[in-house]
Amino acid sequence: MSQQDELVEALNAETNKIRVSGKSLKLKASEKAVEELYNTGLVGKLLADRSINKNAVKAIILKAWRTSRGVQIVDLRENIFLFKFACEGDKRRIVELGPWNIEGFPLILKQWNQNMVVEDLDFSSLPVWIQVHNLSIEYMSKENAVEIGSLVGEVVDVDFTGDGEVCMCNFLRVKVEVKVDDLLRSGFYLDRSPHSDLWIQFKYERVAEFCYKCGRLGHLKARCLKVSHIDAQIPSKEPYGFGHWMKAGSSGRKTSRWVEFMAEESSAK
């Protein structure tokens, strides 16, 4: 063993001794801060393949969120921010209206918790509303919505209007926890045997940009590092693969639904 190796070994032994015998330091947490941050705090990570200028983030957030009494923004790490709202209502509204995008990149928002450190937070998924287009009314049940949503990720909500077995609307809506490492599925084939299979198209609400080559969030096609194109889900007819058709229009929420209630003619005429 060389003299240098012996020195390194001796230093390591000393360090281990300190770790074993060292006492941890107990500090007092501010109860007021814990309560305030729990009720009004969110931690957000921008899923981007480059560093986004924090001033740009602040400007976009303040304009888009329009909070009634403002929001404090603290940058914790590169592309990771703490948002502290002035009231719980603003926080709830921002979570419900998500996902949000900044410069085309999704902002993954998570609840603030005491003793959390950035490294412990799970930013591996985000909730997204998916519209299921081209499905006939008779298939638009809650049960089917859950089954369809499960093709993409964990189903967290189904938008179901009416009290019948099926939803009287022009598309199904299902909220799914989308894993950011998984590709955004473009749709699926509906088995209509003995008739030919039918392509059912997914449209993702409020998903600004994603890679049209590998179908993943967080980067654009020009900066894609994936080697091969995934074509397993290409349908026989257009649209196919990944593309802009997978983004729901801005009017894609309930406003695009159209239900007319016909009043019965009065028989007392």
What is the b/e burial string over 242-265, where b = at least 16 CB atoms within 10 angstroms of the residue's CB?
beebbbbeeebbeeeeeeeeeeee
Q: How far is the CB of 258 from Zn ion (least distance, A)?
A: 36
User: Which of 110, 226 has the CB closer to Zn ion?
Assistant: 226
How many residues does this entry show for the chain? 269
Give the three-class secondary structure for 135: coil
User: Which of 95, 224 has the CB closer to Zn ion?
Assistant: 224
- 214 contributes a contact to Zn ion by CB under 5 A: yes
Q: Which helix (H) or strand (E) holds 110?
A: strand 105-111
Q: How far is the CB of 224 from Zn ion (least distance, A)?
A: 3
Report how many residues bind Zn ion under the rule CB under 5 A. Answer: 5
Q: How far is the CB of 242 from Zn ion (least distance, A)?
A: 9
Of 45-53, 173-181, 225-233, 250-258, the window that binds Zn ion (rule: CB under 5 A) is 225-233
In this structure, the number of other CB atoms found within 10 A of the CB of residue 113 comes to: 13
Q: How far is the CB of 104 from Zn ion (least distance, A)?
A: 14
User: Which of 139, 245 has the CB closer to Zn ion?
Assistant: 245
- Asked if residue 143 lies in contact with residue 58, where contact means CB atoms within 8 angstroms, the answer is no
DSSP 165-233: SB--SSSEEEEEEEETTS----EEEE--TTSPPEEEEEEETT---B-TTT--BTS-GGG----S---TT
- Asked if residue 235 lies in contact with residue 222, where contact means CB atoms within 8 angstroms, the answer is no
Q: Please name which of 176, 139, 137 lies closest in space to residue 158, comparing C-alpha atoms.
A: 176
Q: How far is the CB of 101 from Zn ion (least distance, A)?
A: 17
The correct pick among 34, 60, 95, 224 for binding Zn ion (CB under 5 A) is: 224
Site for Zn ion in 95-124 (CB under 5 A): none
Q: How far is the CB of 216 from Zn ion (least distance, A)?
A: 5
- 47 contributes a contact to Zn ion by CB under 5 A: no
Site string for Zn ion, 173-212 (x = CB under 5 A): --------------------------------------x-
- 64 contributes a contact to Zn ion by CB under 5 A: no
- Ramachandran region of residue 45, left (φ > 0), alpha (ψ -120 to 50) or beta? beta
The site for Zn ion (CB under 5 A) is made up of: 211, 213-214, 224, 226
